[in-house]
Amino acid sequence: MSAPEHRSGAEYTQRKVVRNDTPPPTRKPSSGASAQNLGFTARLIAWLGHHQLVAVETLLKLLAKPAASLLTWLVIAIALTLPGGLWMAVSNLEQLSGSVQQSGRMSVYLKPELSVTAATTLKQRIDQLPGVAKTSLVDADAALAQFRENTGLADVLDMLDGNPLPAVILVEPPLDLSRDALLALQQKLADLAGVESVELDLAWLERLNSLLALAQRIVLILGILLALAILLVVGNTIRLAIAARVDEIRVVKLVGGTNAYVRRPFLYTGLWYGMVGGVLSWILLIICWAVLHGPVAELASLYGSGFELQPLSASAALTLLLVGMGLGWFGAWWSVSRHLDEIEP
């Protein structure tokens, strides 16, 4: 066995491995949140993205509990259906506006010696008068034919030597014409040359105007009461949702969430309640129209009328939907504003 090789001090120093036990410097992680300056476009995109996310999430949460959500939707739908049904009834009454005007029209009886040409000229003159919506001329022969057809007294009329009925000009005033204006128009027609007399059923017009005013007042009061009912229903539902998420709201506020950030999901929940309730209300109105359409048409045919019940128009349905959405959103905002300030981390 050979002896170990002896190295000189210089060689040993050159081959010596220098060990450094000092650990390399490490970079300390920054503690806390760091602020970043975002531009307007980036903030707008983030804001819109959060709105879209919250809208989808709130709808999915409502659909995840269909039984509870359906009860609230049906309550809102029924509350919207009642004024919507009155609205549909008023819009259908517009079809009868011609008949209503005919019920309150003036009958201008002409003198028997007035010729057909003079009667036509007088009708054209009456058309130019203010407060006249429509006129129609019924000559003596046409009046006799209508009387013969409607009364069934053809045999009696054949025994007469001549035509006892005069020519008549039917004058239909506008519905919004006041009592004083009607009386003035009646007097103006009576003063025309060739006019024998003018008849006006003023009592019927007064009853009609009173009924219309009463119906408008009822619709207004009912609409206000049902709107308040929708606000209370949505507000109470949102209050229960807030009570179930108190801890979550406190955590969000603790990490810096603003009231607007916390309020946003509840506002979208109220918006969805109002929107779906409005759609269900429109469906209920369509069902009511389908059920009543046949009986109303049959009743109108018995009275010799071509009246047909029309469904709710597209503009009215859109207005009903927007009103439901607005009431749902406002009810949620009112409830959240009352209870959000009471929840602090």
pTM of the model: 0.62
Q: Which of the listed residues 199, 234, 267 is the one where a domain comes to its end?
A: 199
What confidence tens digit (pLDDT) does each residue in 216-256 have? 788 788 889 988 999 999 989 898 888 888 888 888 888 87
CATH of the domain at 134: 3.30.70.3040
Q: Which of the listed residues 199, 225, 250 is the one where a domain comes to its end?
A: 199
- What tokens appear for 241 in the block? 């949702």
Instruction: Answer yes or no: do 241 and 334 share one domain.
Output: yes
Q: What is the pLDDT along the chain (345 residues), one digit of tens a residue?
A: 444 444 444 444 444 444 555 555 555 555 544 556 667 788 788 888 888 888 898 899 888 888 888 989 999 999 999 888 888 887 777 665 545 555 567 888 888 877 878 888 888 888 888 888 888 888 776 766 665 655 555 555 555 555 556 788 888 887 667 777 888 888 888 888 888 888 876 676 667 667 777 877 887 888 899 889 999 999 898 988 888 888 888 888 888 778 888 888 999 999 999 999 999 999 999 999 999 988 888 887 876 667 788 888 888 889 889 999 999 999 999 988 888 777 776
Number of domains in the chain: 2
- What average pLDDT does the chain have? 78
Instruction: Answer yes or no: do 268 and 238 share one domain.
Output: yes
Instruction: Answer yes or no: do 220 and 114 share one domain.
Output: no
Task: Find the helix or strand (DSSP H, E) in which 197 lies.
Answer: strand 195-200
Measured CA to CA, the distance from residue 63 to residue 74 in angstroms comes to 14
Q: What are phi and psi of 191, to 5 degrees?
A: -85, -10
Percent of the chain that is helix, strand, coil (3-state, to 5): 70, 5, 25
Instruction: Answer yes or no: do 231 and 163 share one domain.
Output: no
Q: Which of the listed residues 148, 169, 199 is the one where a domain comes to its end?
A: 199
Full domain range(s) for residue 270 = 50-96+208-340
Instruction: Answer yes or no: do 64 and 170 share one domain.
Output: no
> Considering only CA atoms, which of 122, 113, 172 is closest in space to residue 140?
113
Instruction: Answer yes or no: do 235 and 213 share one domain.
Output: yes
Give the count of alpha carbons within 13 A of 244, CB side only.
7
